Amino acid sequence: MTGLASAHAASDVHHAAVFHDLGLNDYHDGWRGYNSNVMPSGWDVIDGVLTFKNDQFLEEDYNSDRGQKNIIYALEEFDNFELYVEWKISRGGNSGIFYHIKEGYASPASVAPEYQIIDDENYASMHDIVSYNKSVGFLPPDKLHPLQKTASDYAMYGADSNIKKLNPAGQWNNSKIVFTEEKVEYWLNNIKLLSFVPWSEEWNEKKNSGKWDNAPDYGKFKKGFIGFQDHPGDLWLKNIKIKKL
């Protein structure tokens, strides 16, 4: 097959793929807790919006059930995909989109890459992040590092702040992840902010830079579940759609 024919064939396959709506009519639509058979407390579906109301607000107090309220879409695992979601968080809130999740670990964060969702403007002033940031080398420790801000590949790649347009806490944003083994793209509010090649030499250098020393399986899986992170603050999610690539 010629290069042009191959390109057309790939394009036809791409356009033939359709989005699958990860329905939110009730908890039987495929969502459940990580390492669990049920939805964790705090999660609810209200008028088609997946909502997380967190009873632990401060980062420094948020330890007792970490890993127990993360949720996954458990009906299917995905390798190459395009994921779209609309979301908003409360002031000082923090969450994230996980992918290629495997169960059996203390938390998805130890194994799954994360598209970061956070209140860039207010988070650092509302939480004590100094000790944690010092432990992973994020300086200055009292500020959010670029690798911790919305649309970053958490602790790996930062989003382009020069073109980033993030709506403030309490307002809706939309995010998109396009994952293939050749390239990964992170989008925010219809603007591509980040791209990288997974498992490349650069990717491995970043993984081995210190943050993931105690997470040897981080990012190694090429197929897994989609999920959302439980963290301080409230979270609202709607129009969650995915298609295979």
Q: What is the largest CA-CA distance in the chain?
A: 59
Report the chain's mean pLDDT, rounded to a whole number.
Answer: 89
Q: How does pLDDT run across 130-147, given as a tens digit for each residue?
A: 999 999 999 999 999 999
Q: How does pLDDT run across 149-163, given as a tens digit for each residue?
A: 999 999 999 999 999
Domain extents in the chain: 19-244
Is CATH 2.60.120.560 the classification given to domain 19-244?
yes
More confident residue, 179 or 44: 179
Q: Which of 100-104, 106-110, 177-181 has the lowest mean pLDDT?
A: 106-110
The structure tokens listed for 225 are 């579940």
Q: What is the structure's pLDDT at 68?
A: 72
pTM: 0.90
Q: How does pLDDT run across 183-214, given as a tens digit for each residue?
A: 999 999 999 999 999 999 999 999 998 799 88
The structure tokens listed for 90 are 């409360």
In the chain, beta strands by DSSP E: 20-21, 31-33, 43-46, 49-52, 71-78, 81-89, 94-101, 114-118, 173-179, 184-188, 191-196, 224-228, 235-244
